[in-house]
Structures are given as C-alpha cells and as structure tokens.
Amino acid sequence: MEIKIALAALGALAQETRLLIFRMLVQAGPEGLSVGRIADKLDTEPNGRLSFHLKELVRAGLVTATQSGRFIFYSANYPVMNDLLAYLTEHCCAGESCGEVVHGCTNLENPS
Amino acid sequence: MEIKIALAALGALAQETRLLIFRMLVQAGPEGLSVGRIADKLDTEPNGRLSFHLKELVRAGLVTATQSGRFIFYSANYPVMNDLLAYLTEHCCAGESCGEVVHGCTNLENPS
DNA sequence: CTAACATTTCAATTATTATTGAAACATGGA
DNA sequence: TCCATGTTTCAATAATAATTGAAATGTTAG
C-alpha cells in the first residue's frame, strides 16, 4: 500500500461522524446500509453534511456506493481496510519475537 | 476503546511525517529511536517541526518518550496500536462467516 | 564553569478541513 | 405527468492543523 492511500484512509477515519459511519458499515456487512438508514442510526438527517462525509469515505476508498432503486447503499471496503491495518503493522519489531494478533476481516463471499 | 481515543490516534497518523515516524518506530521495536536518529532517517533535522509531530504522537498515546542521558528515545506503544486495529474491525460483519486476518503485534516481552 | 550538543517552545503565518443552509437533481409511485 | 422521497451540490463561513524561524531549555563532557 502506498503512503498516500494510507493517509487518505486515515484522514477519512479521523473524524467522528465518519468513524461512526465506517464502523457501522463494517458491522453491517457487505450488503451495507442506505443513506437514510445511516442517518437514522446517527440520529441525524440525510443532509449535505452527511453526504459530504460519505463522499469523503468513498474518496478514501474505504467505502463503496451502489445505487439500488431510489436508495443508495454504502458498504465497507474490507480489502482496503485490511491493507491499511497491514500497512500500520508492517515489519513490526523487525521480525523479532513479537506475538501476532488477529484483527481484520476478509469477508470473502466467493473465496477463490 | 473510546471513540475519542481512536480519533486522536487516527488524527495523529493522518499526516505524512507522523505516519512515517510511527511505522519507523513500529519496525524499530520496543527500544525505539532517538530524535536525532529519527531525523536522520527522515532526512531532516531535529527541529521544531519534528518535535511538534513527535509530541502529537505522544499526545495521541501511540508513542512513548523516555529520556536516556542526553538523548530522548521514542518508541511505539503497541497495546494502543492493537486496540485501535481492534476498534476498527470490532463486530465485523455482525459475526457472519467472515475470514479473520492476522495483523498487529503484541510485543509482550514479559507475557503473563 | 563553560562550551557543545540534543531537543523543545513559542508566536505568526499559511493551509486544510468541517459546518451550515439553501437550492438542485434523481427516482419511483399515484 | 406530478408529487413526495432520497440524496447531492455549492458557496460562504468557521474551525482546526501544519510550517517556519528564532530563541530557550536541559544535558553532558572537558
């Protein structure tokens, strides 16, 4: 992963509304949530502010938008999330004895 | 992990110089690096700018500073890093079949 | 004690990012 | 077609963060 991509992702997550949305989508699974549903859960309305933050998450590659009828569903982009986690811990401790921990979620619906 | 703590950590990492420093320290292991050494690796000098960014990383809890003689050593705070990774992936896919991935580094020198 | 090195502090400037509110666009059902 | 619903765009303002350069602090060795 290139540093610019990691910076974009981290910058996108470093904001309360967006972090809440992202975690919500990670927990929602690959089907995602509509904007209205996200707004409900945040106890706000699908307004310009929310739209702005969703766009930022998409721009950072952390989230994907798919139109379905009158609704737009946003869902977490798991591979990008995992790449980000890997980037942060890469070559940890220069390979010295250092316990590994399980984090991340592949969500491979169609494992190849 | 509380959201405020996660936001502080993400915000600290969402900046090129700081992300470079953090990864450098993660890779350096628990002994850390002195400010001068960090400056060398960044091809810069131990100036106000570097000091500012180091302080931000400490403020976010991602990094620890320890004085040793005339030098100050900065090192990665692995537990905080792992908590952050866990926070991002928490309750991923609401528990549905969803492959787990290894990321993170405990670096337990004294496992209990 | 003094000089030299390592690092930090501070205030001013500049740059980036978030919020707000109003208006506009798109979609599907009556 | 027309209206209601769902969502986005835009420009202005407000808030937050980064950079710079100079001066100050703390530390050790001679």
SS (H, E, C) A3-66: HHHHHHHHHHHCCHHHHHHHHHHHHHCCCCEEHHHHHHHCCCCCCHHHHHHHHHHHHCCCEEEE
3-state secondary structure of A74: strand
- From CA A82, how far away is CA B30, in angstroms rounded? 24
Match 């209990």 to its residue by tokens: B112
Burial class (CB in 10 A: 0-12, 13-18, 19+), B88: buried
- Looking at residue A98, its pLDDT comes to 84
Query: Residue A4 above 60 pLDDT?
Result: yes
Whole-Å CA distances, B67 to B30, B70, B82: 14, 7, 25
pLDDT of B12 over the 60 cut: yes
pLDDT exceeds 50 at position B66: yes
Write down the mean pLDDT value for chain B: 92
Give the pLDDT score at A109: 64
B3: tokens are 């959201």
The residue among A98 and B39 whose pLDDT is bigger is B39
Comparing CA positions, the residue from A68, A92, A71, A86 lying closest to residue A9 is A86
Residue among B39, B3, B22 nearest B77 (CA):
B22
Mean pLDDT of chain A: 92
When mean pLDDT is compared across A31-40, A82-91, B11-20, B90-99, the lowest value belongs to B90-99
B2 vs A92: CA distance, rounded Å: 25
φ/ψ (deg, to 5) at A100 = -100, 155
3-class DSSP state for residue A2? coil
* Chain A residues lying within 8 Å of B26, measured CB to CB: 88-93
Residue reference for tokens 């798919």: A66
Write down the pLDDT at residue B56: 97
Question: If pLDDT is split at 50, 70 and 90, which confidence band does A110 have?
Answer: low
CA–C1' gap, B74 and C11, in angstroms: 27
Mean pLDDT of B59-66: 96
Could you tell me the pTM of the whole model? 0.92
Residues of B with Cβ-Cβ distance to A27 under 8 angstroms: 90-94
What is the C-alpha separation between B76 and B107, in angstroms, rounded?
10
- Is residue B29 over pLDDT 80? yes
- Confidence at residue A9, expressed as pLDDT on a 0 to 100 scale: 98
| The pLDDT of residue B112 is above 80 | no
Q: Is the pLDDT of residue B80 over 60?
A: yes
The Cα A8–Cα B52 span in angstroms is 21
pLDDT score recorded for residue B110: 52
Q: Give Cα B73 distance to the centre of its chain.
A: 13
Count CB pairs under 8 A between chains A and B. Answer: 155
B47 touches strand C (CB under 7 A): yes
Q: Which nucleotides of D are covered by protein (CB under 7 A)?
A: 5-11, 17-23, 26-28
Choose among B91, B40, B108, B37: nearest CA to A22: B91
